[in-house]
Amino acid sequence: MSSIRGGVEQSRERLVALVLLLQRAWTDRKPLTQEEIVRDLKIDEYPVSSKGPKKVRAYEGNEGAVRQKFERDKARIRELGFEIETVTLADDSIGYRIDPASGYAPVIHFNESERRVVELSLRFCGFGSSGAFSVFNEAPAGDGGLEFSAYYTPVVRALKLRRALAFEYQSSANKMRVVEPLVIDVFNGTSYLVARVKGTSEIKGYRFSRITSMPVVLPDTFAVDEETLALAKAWRAEFQKVPSPIDVVVTTNTNYADLLVRQFPHALSATKKDGKVEVGISFENPRAALRFVLEAGERVRLQSPKSLKSDLGDWLKEVNRGNAPSPDSLRFSGPATNDVLGETLQLLHAVYLAEDGLRISELARRFALDPAHVRLIMDRLTSLEPMADANDGSGLFPAHVIKDCDDWDHEDTDDSIYRADFVNETDEPSPFMWRDLFELNIALREASRVYTDQAIYSAIEKIERTASSFVQVELASNESLLDQVRDAVDDRDQIKIIYTPGIAEESQARSIEPREIKVLNGHTYVRAYCSTREAWRTFRVDRINAIVAKSPAPGSRPADTALNWLTQVGDEGDEVVLVVEAHQRYLFEPLPSAQWIALDDGRHAVKFRVSNPAFLDHLMLLAGPGAVVVTPAYAKAGHELAKRIAAQL
């Protein structure tokens, strides 16, 4: 659980006070200068050194130190997605204010059925602890299957307003881009902003994970016709202006052939005399065909065409070959520190959504916080009076949070209730940031594949009506057994499956007891107790060849010790560092806990963990020319695999 630290708590109150204060400045149309804020903004002293809460100035120190702290605070607020507007006042001084609509979407009221499916969907697919999960669900958030980015907030807003965006983007080089956003496309769990390059007719896709600065919503508006919008929605990551279809023939075993036929509905198969199965598949272009053969690895033998054989042979010669920098020369930044401003706003949003308020114990459970920590944060929100003296009393600056105690004589230990009090409907602030609407939309769409409930579609309709039609999702189409797996979860049944692990040639019979389903990188995974292995395991649904038996699950099983089972691979195994070309980043970006740095020569270094050397062999096979392992222990990863495949050509 999060601990209480004096410096952090003073920073928290200062940031929250500044955000609320600058939003008030927008409402009152009275931008505040830095001089006014530094002179008059006061917060509670922490740790408390007197009997009553002592007010101290939020910004103290010499002029240089105060300015640096103020600029850092503005940067942290912008990193959350708020737009701090600078205004030149009549005396030529600079004033600041925040448009609440830059961060918050309009209020959406979900009915009881819609709230229920939102809770369900966020458990199935969402950002995890970085998103809205704990605002809706009573339990603390685990790992999330969606790629989190704070950059969704300005992007979704710009899409709604049809306003241009400016941001820095990392491709071969880190450059500023100015674009007219058209749609957010989600392919296999990866999000792209599809936009028109400003001043041109060119449609391009920008992966959110490669945007390197908070997008700025520009004042420039633009118009878009239906033809341009249709082109944007047709964009694909491997789009080619001139399609070059190619027919591929491979031989494989019966088990893997069955899997291929399910994954590629238009595939044709025929059993040969030697028992092998010949499978023919059509691809839109040679690159997609090569990717298919590489992903299949040793499970298939390429028969035709000759041109693809030649391309494959050239590719295999370059697997994990090239110049690698010294491991000591690479410096990765550490994990991001706790976002105290975002954490506080999430607590506030949960209270906004709870009609009868929430107790300290409920908030502590939802957000995995110590109850004392919750009490500290929420008590400050009830008593927050930024610049009260300068504004002629705190009544002009309501925090909208009221505390109810069952036992006021023992307030310090009482499990108090915090609730929001709204004078009228127009006074009600939205609990949703723009990025929350993106998360809810995708989570609901993914859940619609598994659960049939009209409330899912009505909730999506409300979100789309609020944010316009801003997103499209390419859902998995090769998970034919997903409904049966879901039924086993709901009914707590045991099922016997025929399963093909990630890089195995042959299938295996497993008896499993499914308990939870989640989505990661466009694939659905099920967590189950495997009685065949007598341990908890994670299975990818599209690799289940068949469900051959079903029965009620037997008695109790040992508890699952994996708190974040969906992404636990990111915390296990050996640490490996690779250097890759910019165009190869997409292979490694989905890896849990991957860290990146850009090198002076234009390449990129990535650090992640590997628990199975065979996984790294296949990853290097897919990466091919331009990717090289820096970690000495894995300098030859992929070499033997490439040789074995080349020997079959």
Asked if 560 and 609 sit in the same domain, the reply is no
Asked if 95 and 5 sit in the same domain, the reply is yes
Tell me, what's the pLDDT at 395? Answer: 42
Tell me, what's the pLDDT at 394? Answer: 41
User: Which amino acid makes up residue 256?
Assistant: Y
Asked if 31 and 89 sit in the same domain, the reply is yes
| CA distances for 332 relative to 67, 217, 497, 586, angstroms | 29, 30, 42, 19
Asked if 487 and 558 sit in the same domain, the reply is yes
Q: Is the pLDDT of residue 391 over 50?
A: no
Asked if 78 and 33 sit in the same domain, the reply is yes
Mean pLDDT for 564-586 is: 81
Question: How many whole angstroms separate alpha carbon 163 and alpha carbon 405?
Answer: 47
Tell me, what's the pLDDT at 155? Answer: 96
**pLDDT band at 579; cut points 50, 70, 90:** very high
Token representation of residue 564: 């974040």
Domain, as residue range, for 77:
1-100
- Does any domain span residue 34? yes
User: Which amino acid makes up residue 11?
Assistant: S
- Does any domain span residue 155? no
Tell me, what's the pLDDT at 463? Answer: 95
Asked if 1 and 92 sit in the same domain, the reply is yes
Write down the mean pLDDT value for the chain: 86
Q: Please report where in the chains the tokens 């998103």 appear, as a residue.
A: 131
- Does any domain span residue 467? no
Q: C-alpha dihedral over 119, 516, 150, 343, to 10 degrees?
A: 70
Question: How many whole angstroms separate alpha carbon 9 and alpha carbon 162?
Answer: 39
User: Which amino acid makes up residue 29?
Assistant: R
Over residues 464-481, the pLDDT tens digits come to 999 888 898 887 667 888
Identify how many contiguous H helices and E strands the chain contains and give both numbers.
Answer: 20, 27
Tell me, what's the pLDDT at 383? Answer: 66
Tell me, what's the pLDDT at 200? Answer: 95
Question: Sign of the C-alpha dihedral, residues 527, 530, 536, 538?
Answer: negative
- Does any domain span residue 12? yes
Number of structural domains in the chain: 3
- Give, for 280, the enclosing helix (H) or strand (E): strand 277-283
Question: How many whole angstroms separate alpha carbon 594 and alpha carbon 605?
Answer: 10
Give the residue with greater pLDDT, 43 vs 534.
534
- Give, for 302, the enclosing helix (H) or strand (E): strand 301-304
Asked if 543 and 585 sit in the same domain, the reply is no
Q: What are the start-end ranges of the H helices in 475-584?
A: 482-491
Q: Is the pLDDT of residue 384 over 80?
A: no
Quote the pTM value: 0.83
What share of the chain has pLDDT > 90, as a percent?
46
Write down which residue in 74, 100, 126 finishes a domain: 100
Asked if 583 and 562 sit in the same domain, the reply is no
Tell me, what's the pLDDT at 390? Answer: 47
- Does any domain span residue 516? yes
Closest by Cα among 580, 625, 637 to 318? 625
Over residues 34-86, the pLDDT tens digits come to 998 888 887 777 666 655 567 778 888 888 888 899 999 999 899 888 999 99
> For residue 409, with 0-12 CB atoms within 10 Å meaning exposed, 13-18 middle and 19 or more buried, which class applies?
exposed
Give the residue with greater pLDDT, 622 vs 27.
622
Asked if 543 and 626 sit in the same domain, the reply is no
Write down which residue in 42, 76, 100 finishes a domain: 100
- Does any domain span residue 532? yes
Question: How many whole angstroms separate alpha carbon 612 and alpha carbon 610?
Answer: 6
Write down which residue in 100, 130, 146 finishes a domain: 100
Tell me, what's the pLDDT at 236? Answer: 82
Give the residue with greater pLDDT, 566 vs 163.
163
Tell me, what's the pLDDT at 243? Answer: 65
Asked if 546 and 614 sit in the same domain, the reply is no
Question: How many whole angstroms separate alpha carbon 306 and alpha carbon 195?
Answer: 38
**pLDDT band at 308; cut points 50, 70, 90:** very high
- Does any domain span residue 221? no
**pLDDT band at 12; cut points 50, 70, 90:** confident
Lowest-confidence segment of 87-91, 124-128, 225-229, 391-395 by average pLDDT:
391-395
- Does any domain span residue 471? no
Asked if 549 and 576 sit in the same domain, the reply is no
Asked if 584 and 641 sit in the same domain, the reply is yes
